[in-house]
Structure 1
């Protein structure tokens, strides 16, 4: 019925709540050795492969595939065992089987991670295709439109300028009035250390160089952990 699945046997299809889990395996047929071409079906062991597909109805699809490690029947070759290869068309056919009957309009436009990256990227650094996708995402609902506006306004505050502390107060007020609970917790965190945040948004000074030295010191410590004493660590830090 599904010619693209001829190399696979679907054993189970489970509803895991947030994910649809498909269990499949290869057939028990003889396959050629990639080194000599001799057919063999003698199993040495099994391996598991996990393939992630695009979401189905908003849920992730995970395909757990079992493949065999086979023993070559010809002795004296450099390779005695090998892992059987699954044709790419079989996995593509499995994906099509899971998504059959779904209209293109029902498919998700993008993933949450990609949407977040587009929202957090400087618009000047986006390609035209990405800009069009971002406009489509932000116009999907009023909450996304409001979220995009708040992210854009906060990004403008990251360039230290006098008066940004007043603009931050206005931004926090607008954020708390929005129906975006996750941004509410972010705004509350800003208020916990408001003096430091105001300094970072209004003054041209920063502790980037100090943080860089700390990072380099920690990297040297991890490289030499258990293999050097304090004297050698001190020389590496001072002489580099």
Structure 2
């Protein structure tokens, strides 16, 4: 019976355990459940060899504790009431058998480990390394926002900055624009359509499309029941009506027999065409979105986003260099390329990521270990999530002895 009471208390806490016990016809109070959890202590456990250390919030932004996890056995070892380096150092000194300590880049934990266990290998957490690299690149983008806003307004695009597929699409668009201009110029001079066809080699239908203004979209329009209504649609669009359903209702009132889908697709193409060639008067995207666009593979961007990225990189080559360094660092961390770290640091210290590189240089041994060792703080982060669940379940009122008893016992 006592073991049953204890296990229910560990799983549910006080009040929830009392409520369940009532349904099971067990006359046990919440205080008895909590006493059973506190009274039972675990037997002797093997000395840890590889541990992970991270902080957790008693109250976010005000008070923090420290959680220590055995990474080999995947269980919580201890909870410390604060995250002071002296507390962590004392705990580590009492366990000289520890060989590896995984931690984030918090300087306090690193210093405490170096003083208490100078021979232990410190491993920086890989997720935090990637997150810090992203934050450093975002800071570089934020510092250059005035120049980025000017670059986005530039109307001349350097094709050398585009990928092969993008260059083909852009060159095709430019050829269409040149052809359209030539045909319209001849039409304005009074040249008959038959002579334009003979001089240019274009089909009669294509020349008529150009004269009617049906080849101005960046994304091509196929022939449909909408063709005869395009001038009317252009007038409505220029007048401010941008809703496909409303455009369709207005055309239906004048005798249009086509479907809503045809008009909706035309409106979608119009919106995409507007976005494909950004004008200098558009509002600049926020720094976080620009940073994300710069770090996404070009093949995964829309035409409009690819044009923006190309303009930014052309105007700010130092930002393009920072983006390349960020990509290389991400690849280095994900593929455990320790031998590339020193060269990367030398390059990054002369770039817009210099502050981030200097921080890595000061903790280079732990960063190199992160690229070499299999350990990380992912398990510790998972245990902290479990701890948060327990705190919420107990409405944040549990003392550290009760939290430790429930967390360690459940592990």
| TM-score after normalising by structure 2 | 0.28
The structure with more helix, counted as a fraction of residues: 2
Select the structure with the greater relative contact order (CA < 8 A; seq sep ≥ 6): 2
The structure with more strand, counted as a fraction of residues: 1
| TM-score after normalising by structure 1 | 0.46
